[in-house]
Amino acid sequence: MEFVAVDFETANGSRASVCQVGVARVVDGVIAEQHCWLVVPPTGADDFAPANVRVHGIDADAVRGAIDWTEAVERLAGLVGTSPVVAHNAAFDADVYAAACAHEGLVPVEWEWVDSLALADRFIDANRRDLPSVVHALGLPPFNHHDAGADAAATAAVVLELGRRFGATTLGDLLSTWPARDERVVAVLPSKARPGAAPDDSGSSVRVKDLPQPNPDADPGHPLHGHRIVLTGDLEGYTRMEAWATVAALGAQPQKGVRKDTTILVVSEALVIDSTYPTHLATEKVRKAARYIASGQQLVLMTGPEMLACLDSSNPAPVPAVREIPVAEEPARKPTATRSTTTRPAGNPAATSTFTPADAKPLTRTRPRSTDHVPAGGLLAPPTNAPREAHPAASASTSERAGKVRAWGLFAAVFLGGALLGSIPAIGPLLALIVWGWAVWKLRADLRALKARPAGDPGQDGHLPA
């Protein structure tokens, strides 16, 4: 088995902006050579989009002094020769190769491209077929995704492992093999699992201002030119970042959420969208789009295959017409209520819960204060009609104790605060002494005031015990 696996990384939304090339050359069924080099993008050394940089980590400083695309193409041609070229999602890499050559006025060498993603689709029963998930499904070692050299080597390893499992000695034999379903490499992964993938692949951490911007030099005649596009789900063959970059290169504006100026929503997992579409089971983006369409907004719902047809570089399909889908009913909101109150009638230990609607007047608090008199039978004892008698001595004693507790509590808090101020360099000790001095003075003043209070004075409590 002989072939050459390649991978390209781009600097921005333009497919001509190659900034890194990775190559893995397979000879006699083993990876004989691995190469990776940086390239000054044909679109300009400083033309790096923040979103792309976050994906692969390559910026303008990294490519200064690197080779240009003309030299990169010569190296590639020498390594490929007459061998077939393998890439994961080969349509993207083939377009990058052709666009970069066209930008520099070069005539690209015609190669036989083989898509390892299509091979994975044929052989592997898995929810995802992006390169990290395929590598994981086959039990191959993890790799540094979005490094062109590592991606090329991983692509070559995937093809070699599939050939080993199905006894294919040449790439042609593997391409002609169509295993029965029970002979497939069964590896079902969770729909959100992306082992080894960069965290930004999903686009969830990308800020709106860092989304790829429409290519000003894009063909205005392309069906997607000028549209504002939102993606939901995973577009086959593209990570979220790659899909955003692709539509931006065609002159469209990617968006993260459905808005009143959105013109296209791509429902990647849908195969058919019509009046029977189950909106109540769809994502919030789809439900929101349905409401906007019902209100008259010109918003087109597209399936994943329809978007892929629009992205076809050789013969792009037109954008479908606006489709109306059922508007999902919003679930009824539960009435809000305050916390329930519990009353215990005299002589009945069982609690009775009463529900208080939100618009009802709050109940008044009848529980006695801590300084109120507690009957001998406890809080729930029946009220007595005996007249209350004042006890000035008990009042003064209780009030004085409460005052002392407050005074000492304030002193302790201020003292600890002074200790914290003392840790400040240079002026800390002086500030601590000032605070501590004030605390001592305040404590002594409060204690003197308590002693001087007349008997029966309620003080700060505002009432006498009864």
What pLDDT does residue 127 have? 66
The residue whose two tokens read 């609690």 is 351
Q: Check residue 428 and give its pLDDT.
A: 74
- pLDDT band for position 6 (cuts 50, 70, 90): very high
Residue 366 pLDDT > 80: no
pLDDT at 195: 38
pLDDT of residue 170 exceeding 80: yes
Quick: pLDDT tens for 264-319.
999 987 778 888 777 777 788 888 999 999 999 999 999 988 998 898 877 888 99
Look at residue 446 and tell me whether its pLDDT is greater than 80: no
DSSP one-letter code for 45: T
Q: What is the mean pLDDT of residues 357-373?
A: 42
Neighbour count for residue 283 (Cβ, 10 Å):
15
Residue 462: CB atoms within 10 Å: 8
pLDDT score, position 263: 95
Q: Does 354 score more than 50 pLDDT?
A: no
Domain 3-199, what fold? Nucleotidyltransferase; domain 5 (3.30.420)
Q: Which CATH code fits 215-310?
A: 3.40.50.10190
Long-range contacts of 296-300 (CB under 8 A, 24+ apart): 297/260, 298/263, 298/322, 299/258, 299/262, 299/263, 299/264, 299/265, 300/263, 300/264, 300/265
Give me the chain's average pLDDT, please.
78
DSSP for 12-72, written as a single string: SSSTT-EEEEEEEEEETTEEEEEEEEEB--TT-TT---HHHHHHH---HHHHTT-B-HHHH
137 close to 195: Cβ distance less than 8 angstroms: no
Report H helices in 189-232. Answer: none
**84, 170 contact by CB (below 8 A):** no
More confident call, 408 vs 25: 25
**Per-residue pLDDT, 380:** 39
Residues in a beta bridge with 219: none
- Predicted TM-score (pTM) of the model is 0.47
Nearest Cα residue to 264 out of 230, 297, 235: 230
Q: What per-residue confidence (pLDDT) applies to 350?
A: 40
Residue 272: per-residue pLDDT: 80
| Percentage of residues in the chain having pLDDT higher than 90 | 36
Q: What is the pLDDT of residues 48-90, one digit of tens each?
A: 888 788 889 999 999 999 999 999 999 999 999 999 999 999 9
Q: With 50 as the cut, is the pLDDT of residue 368 above it?
A: no
Q: Decide if pLDDT at 451 tops 80.
A: no
- Identity of residue 118: A
| String of DSSP letters for 280-306 | GGS-HHHHHHHHHHHTT---EEEEHHH
Q: Which residues pair with 114 in a beta bridge?
A: 86
